[in-house]
Amino acid sequence: MKTQQAALILAAGYGSRMNQIGKVLPKCLLKYKNKSILDHIVDHLVKSGIKDITVAVGYKSNRIITSLKKYQNIKFTFYKVKNYRSVGSSYSWYLFRNIWNKKKSLIVMHADIFYKYSLLKKIIDSNKKNMIGSVLKNNNTIKINGWITKSNQNNLIKEIKKKQNKQELCRREIACINKFSPRSMKFIFNFMKNFFLKNGKNYTWEILLNEIIKKKYIKIYTNNYSNYWFNVNTKTDYNNLKKYKIN
């Protein structure tokens, strides 16, 4: 019997790299073809059969909550990250620990990404219980400081890191769509608790999961995917998205 799935969308950030646009509106509510980025994400999740969706909110949280009221027959749960300006994405994820359904595998994703449905489907349908989704790219199209995965021929991840320089050879950029089994989620939350006590709360989830991978606590895999994917961090990213033509 296939494990049921729920989704967590991390949407607490305040878009400091978006300049004036980020001060007016959360990044996830920026529009592409008359629909917000968040609407596209929710539509993909519903198409995948996932209707148990939790959203971590912080900056302009009421705007995000109000924008999702139009959806019918979807179980939305919201929780607020009060100190969203001073904590990292890993801590926003950690705050979910008290409300997650321990019987469901979890899809964890950022709210500021735009991608083709087939990427999500590939991750959900994979027989691997734990995945960090990634996109195959030409080495030159991955930005310096972009998060990448290093893996073996079976797609088992050996390391998560940032691209250090233009010459560094790398193919897979992290897509910010991940999947974890209930058992792995329990371990991850326990690991997070100890990690934050020792290191503080201002860390991205990539750093935290890399610690788990390096110590071989959990096997986490990636995927092969080469269609469009955008991470909307800056005004330039958003302008590039608006220019893109969906086939």
Where exactly are the structural domains of the chain? 5-243
C-beta of residue 161 within 8 angstroms of C-beta of residue 148: yes
Question: Rg of the chain over CA atoms, in angstroms?
Answer: 17
Q: What is the DSSP letter of 17?
A: G
Query: In the chain, count of helices (H) and strands (E)?
Result: 8, 12
The H-or-E segment that residue 243 falls in is helix 235-243
Mind listing the pLDDT tens digit for each residue in 164-212? 998 888 999 999 999 999 999 999 999 999 999 999 999 999 999 999 9
**Dist. CA 77–CA 65, nearest whole Å:** 10
Residue 233: strand, helix, or coil: coil
Residue 31 has pLDDT above 90, yes or no: yes
pLDDT tier, 19 (very low <50, low <70, confident <90, very high otherwise): low
pLDDT tier, 42 (very low <50, low <70, confident <90, very high otherwise): very high
pLDDT tier, 139 (very low <50, low <70, confident <90, very high otherwise): confident
Q: Give bridge partners of residue 105 from the DSSP assignment.
A: 5
For domain 5-243, the CATH class is alpha beta
Name residue, tokens 């148990």: 52
pLDDT tier, 46 (very low <50, low <70, confident <90, very high otherwise): very high
